[in-house]
């Protein structure tokens, strides 16, 4: 588990991936007692005040009856205070620290004090100290939720679709059919009476759309704005008559022409929004552009689009990669072995479900160069390994959602892809492992 404190100003996809993974791991940890410390420090709270509080808590902890729990709590508080001393002032978004005695799997009394400082992506809104049998991660999880949800509405006289775009994904929330008669009147009806009936049907249809939009886009998702699409003039008529709640009516970001309405219309609207650049600040739009560029290279004859872990690692080592793309649901660990006798290094790519069995194999294996059985073993998440290789070669690295349509395309190619700077030579595509 990574314990490094990132210092970059940009909250990029790699940092978000690392933080999400860390939160998931911390959320699954249970202490043997109330010995896991969580500290949230808001931006305007002075560091010295937080240190003073923790020192007071350390004194209170001396009253804990269990010798082991008392020692663990005091050690965790001491480590946390030492971490806080590294800061002259509270960071811009505040600071979060998780520290405690983590189980090693070897029984009670073998726990190891670990500390995880976090520079949060958004300002910390609470001041919190907790000493419990679990870490308090919910507030940090909430910070990773995208608060810029955008409503999507496609409409014509036959059907309507309501969707929500948030962060790196979108989804259709509801569809409605109108039940409105066609433009041609039925036999025996006068033109005026038919038009009057049709207008009434449209009016009721528009009211139903407005009611569903209120429930889904305001009550459930609290969207920041609305994008409207559909074929023909129906969408303009609907907006002009102001059926929508004023919070949606006054926050229409764009009105775009689409070929369809309903569910297919929402899908088309998302693509239109991307093409028009209406929501360039949204992560989903960025991912669409990244994957579109990647897939274009994969299916062209340029040779610049590659996929598969081994080929991407080999190309990174050769320094010919411009951008690496990885889905966030990849479950792979890189195991590096270093011979203590001849310093020979080797790496293996291991799926996380079979990591435990692989560890036993590595512990009993010998150096492929000199046969020595005494080797150092280091495990790293595949994204961290890609980050190291990309940094040394000047390549970019993007982590995209595996749940989006774009992520599904990359997943079908092994969850890893890359765009090269130039077509590789024969030596750079040799059959050697990496």
Name 188's Cβ contacts closer than 8 Å, sequence gap at least 6.
none
Do the two domains 13-144 and 296-429 of this chain adopt the same fold? no
CA–CA distance, 320 with 315 (Å, rounded to integer): 6
Buried b (16+ CB within 10 A) or exposed e, 74-92: bbbbebbbebbeeeeebbe
The partner residues of 305 in beta bridges, in order of sequence, read 419
Q: Which residues contact 130 (CB under 8 A, 6 or more apart)?
A: 37, 38, 136
- Tell me the sheet residues that pair with 26: none
Residue indicated by tokens 């994969």 = 298
Give the pTM.
0.77
Fold of 296-429: 60s Ribosomal Protein L30; Chain: A; (3.30.1330)
Over 50: is that where the pLDDT of 100 sits?
Answer: yes
Between CA 339 and CA 202 the distance in angstroms is 77
Tens-place pLDDT, residues 215-259: 999 999 999 899 999 999 999 999 999 999 999 999 999 999 999
63-67, 159-163, 359-363, 389-393: which range is least confident on average? 359-363
Q: Which residues, other chains included, contact 298 with Cβ-Cβ below 8 Å and sequence gap of 6+?
A: 305, 306, 307, 413, 417
Tens-place pLDDT, residues 319-343: 999 999 999 999 999 988 888 888 8
pLDDT (0 to 100) of residue 185: 54
Dihedral (CA of 395, 396, 400, 406) sign = negative
Are residues 173 and 163 in contact, defined by beta-carbon separation less than 8 angstroms?
A: yes
CATH architecture of 150-281: 2-Layer Sandwich (3.30)
3-state SS assignment for residue 202:
helix
Q: Is residue 61 packed enough to be buried (19+ CB in 10 Å), middle (13-18) or exposed (0-12)?
A: buried
| pLDDT tens digit sequence for 175-187 | 999 887 766 555 5
Collapsing DSSP states into helix, strand and coil, what is residue 417? strand
Tell me the CA distances in angstroms from 75 to 25, 78, 87, 95, 139, one per residue in order: 21, 5, 20, 20, 24
Fold of 13-144: 3.30.960
Torsion of CA 19, 21, 26, 29, to 10 degrees: 180
Q: At 221, is the secondary structure helix, strand, or coil? A: coil
Position 5 pLDDT exceeds 50: no
Element (H, E) at 290: helix 283-298
Q: Output the pLDDT for position 104.
A: 75
Total Cβ atoms within 10 A of residue 119? 18
Domain boundaries, the chain: 13-144, 150-281, 296-429
Q: Which residues pair with 378 in a beta bridge?
A: 336
């Amino acid at each position: 588990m990574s314990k490094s404190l990132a210092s970059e100003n940009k909250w990029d996809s790699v940092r978000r991936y690392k933080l999400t993974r860390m939160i998931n791991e911390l959320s699954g940890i249970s202490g043997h007692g109330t010995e896991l410390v969580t500290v949230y420090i808001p931006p305007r709270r002075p560091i010295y005040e937080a240190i003073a509080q923790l020192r007071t808590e350390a004194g209170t902890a001396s009253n804990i009856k269990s010798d082991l729990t008392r020692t663990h709590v005091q050690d965790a508080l001491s480590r946390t205070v030492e971490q806080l001393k590294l800061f002259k002032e509270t960071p811009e978004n505040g600071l979060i620290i998780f520290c405690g005695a983590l189980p090693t799997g070897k029984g009670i009394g073998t726990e190891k004090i670990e500390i995880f400082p976090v520079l949060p992506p958004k300002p910390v809104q609470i001041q919190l100290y907790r000493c419990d049998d679990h870490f308090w991660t919910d507030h940090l999880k909430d910070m990773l939720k995208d608060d810029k949800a955008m409503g999507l509405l496609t409409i014509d006289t036959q059907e309507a679709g309501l969707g929500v775009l948030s962060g790196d994904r979108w989804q259709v929330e509801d569809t409605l059919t109108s039940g409105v008669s066609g433009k041609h009147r039925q036999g025996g009806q006068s033109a005026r009476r038919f038009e009057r009936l049709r207008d009434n049907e449209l009016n009721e249809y528009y009211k139903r759309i407005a009611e569903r939009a209120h429930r889904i886009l305001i009550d459930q998702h609290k969207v920041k704005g609305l994008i409207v699409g559909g074929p023909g003039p129906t969408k303009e008529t609907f907006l002009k008559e102001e059926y929508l709640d004023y919070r949606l009516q006054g926050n229409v970001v764009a009105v775009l022409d689409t070929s369809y309405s309903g569910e297919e219309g929402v899908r088309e609207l998302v693509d239109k929004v991307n093409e028009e650049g209406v929501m360039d600040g949204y992560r989903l739009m960025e991912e669409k552009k990244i994957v579109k560029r990647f897939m274009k290279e994969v299916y062209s004859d340029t040779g610049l689009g590659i996929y598969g872990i081994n080929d991407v690692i080999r190309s990174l080592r050769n320094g010919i990669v411009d951008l690496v793309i990885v889905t966030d649901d990849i479950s792979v660990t890189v195991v590096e072995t270093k011979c203590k006798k001849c310093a020979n290094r080797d790496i293996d790519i291991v799926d996380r479900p079979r990591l435990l069995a692989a560890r036993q194999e590595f512990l009993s294996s010998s150096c492929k160069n000199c046969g020595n059985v005494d080797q150092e073993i280091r495990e790293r998440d595949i994204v961290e390994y890609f980050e190291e290789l990309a940094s040394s070669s000047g390549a970019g690295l993007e982590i995209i959602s595996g749940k989006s349509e774009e992520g599904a395309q990359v997943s079908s190619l092994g969850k890893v892809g890359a765009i090269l700077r130039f077509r590789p030579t024969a030596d750079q595509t040799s059959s050697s492992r990496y």
